Amino acid sequence: MSLQWLRRRGVDPYMAALAGTVGLAALFPATGSAARAAAVACDVAVALLFFLYGARLSTRETLAGLRHVRLHGLVLACTFVLFPLLGLATALLTPAPLTDQLRTGVLFLCLVPSTVQSSVALTGAAGGDVPAAICAGTYSSLAGLVLTPLLAAWLLGSHAALSADGLLRIAAQLLAPFVLGQVLRQWIGGFLGRHKRLLTPVDRGSILLVVYTAFSAATAQGIWRLATPGALLGLAGVLLALLAASLAAARLGARALGLGRPAVVAAMLCGSQKSLANGLPMATVLFGAEAGLMVLPLMLYHQLQLVVGTVLATRWSRGPGEAPAPRDPAQTGPEQTASALRG
């Protein structure tokens, strides 16, 4: 089954690979020495992932985007203030079929930083402010390296094992590789920029390995009997409500700040998105063997945000009303958008 065959049928190959990896872990989980080897490989993959993040991030472009202060402040407020409050509310109001671990997973989802790739691609397709979206997503990701673990330790309590050793592990596995990538960027940044397609399998393979390791541990603990059809349906309803609330809040906030339509679109798409690439590695560090079911809400929300974001971007690019000003032809087009979402 080729990637082109999947794409012609409207199936994102990466999301199909994630679903297949979860199925593989459910049927053939790594146990014993294989589980230990997978855990070590997972740690190495996560460190490599954050090293590549650091090496690819242009410090000059990041600093140049500081002029969009109101937009960036709004996105950070949505990501690290509004979402945690929504997560606490849903922990109290979620329907009965949701298990305690799924509720905890929903709250963890609300602590994860925004994404860069999909929010930028969707902002470009909708005619929004692409440079501002790039910087907003980047700042959120950088802030999340510190804020997500601290918020998890505060709000998740015993679920997130964030002791002094846990902080050192996060620093060693996430922050140190990222900083090293930034330091070495002047020598390897050009190479990475020229070979993005060759490095995509490294990024995606690392995430798939993290997913397989987490769900293998979950399967070994018999966690799947807790994910009943009723629980999954309740989870989908909760996630849709979170997405709708965050979009509405970002829109109202942007209008209240007097932002123009391109910036409003960027604020909505950046402020409502959550990063699967950042959230999954953090979950493995914070939750260890319990990470499997904890990240299920994040994986489902990631798919929902792409579907809803694509629908909104298409609508905004075609008509007035909520649509932004006509986009610059030099900005991201439909082909680039599809490529970024797949990548």
Note the pLDDT of residue 77. 96
Note the pLDDT of residue 135. 84
Note the pLDDT of residue 241. 93
Note the pLDDT of residue 146. 85
Note the pLDDT of residue 255. 94
Note the pLDDT of residue 94. 60
Residue 334: pLDDT band (50, 70, 90) is very low
Note the pLDDT of residue 74. 96
What's the 3-state SS for the chain? CCHHHHHHCCCCHHHHHHHHHHHHHHHCCCCHHHHHHHHHHHHHHHHHHHHHHHHHCCHHHHHHHHHCHHHHHHHHHHHHHHHHHHHHHHHHHCCCCCCHHHHHHHHHHCCCCCCCHHHHHHHHHCCCCHHHHHHHHHHHHHHHHHHHHHHHHHHCHHHCCCCHHHHHHHHHHHHHHHHHHHHHHHHHHHHHHHCHHHHHHHHHHHHHHHHHHHHHHHHHCCHHHHCCHHHHHHHHHHHHHHHHHHHHHHHHHHHHCCCCHHHHHHHHHHHCCCCHHHHHHHHHHHHHHHHHHHCHHHHHHHHHHHHHHHHHHHHHHHCCCCCCCCCCCCCCCHHHHHHHHHC
For residues 337 and 296, what is the distance between their CA atoms, to the nearest angstrom? 26
- The pLDDT of 310-317, averaged and rounded, is 86
Note the pLDDT of residue 52. 84
Residue 326: pLDDT band (50, 70, 90) is very low
Is the pLDDT reported for residue 322 higher than 60?
no
For residues 147 and 165, what is the distance between their CA atoms, to the nearest angstrom? 17
Is the pLDDT reported for residue 174 higher than 80?
no
CB 94 within 8 A of CB 283: no
Note the pLDDT of residue 133. 85
Residue with tokens 């950042």: 278
Q: Whole-number mean pLDDT of the chain?
A: 79
- The pLDDT of 18-28, averaged and rounded, is 85
Q: What is the pTM of this model?
A: 0.76
State the CB neighbour count (10 A cutoff) for residue 180.
15
Is the pLDDT reported for residue 330 higher than 70?
no
User: Poorest-confidence range of 100-109, 177-186, 223-232, 265-274?
Assistant: 223-232
- Predicted confidence (pLDDT) per residue in 187-225, tens digit: 888 888 787 777 777 777 887 888 888 778 777 766 667
Angle formed at CA 212 by CA 211 and CA 218, multiple of 5 degrees: 90
Q: Report residue 251 as tokens.
A: 């829109």
For residues 2 and 13, what is the distance between their CA atoms, to the nearest angstrom? 9
Q: Which CATH architecture has domain 33-342?
A: Up-down Bundle (1.20)
- Predicted confidence (pLDDT) per residue in 132-159, tens digit: 887 888 889 889 888 988 888 888 865 5
Domain ranges of the chain: 33-342
Note the pLDDT of residue 158. 57
- Predicted confidence (pLDDT) per residue in 243-290, tens digit: 999 999 999 999 999 999 899 999 999 999 998 878 888 887 777 767
Note the pLDDT of residue 95. 59
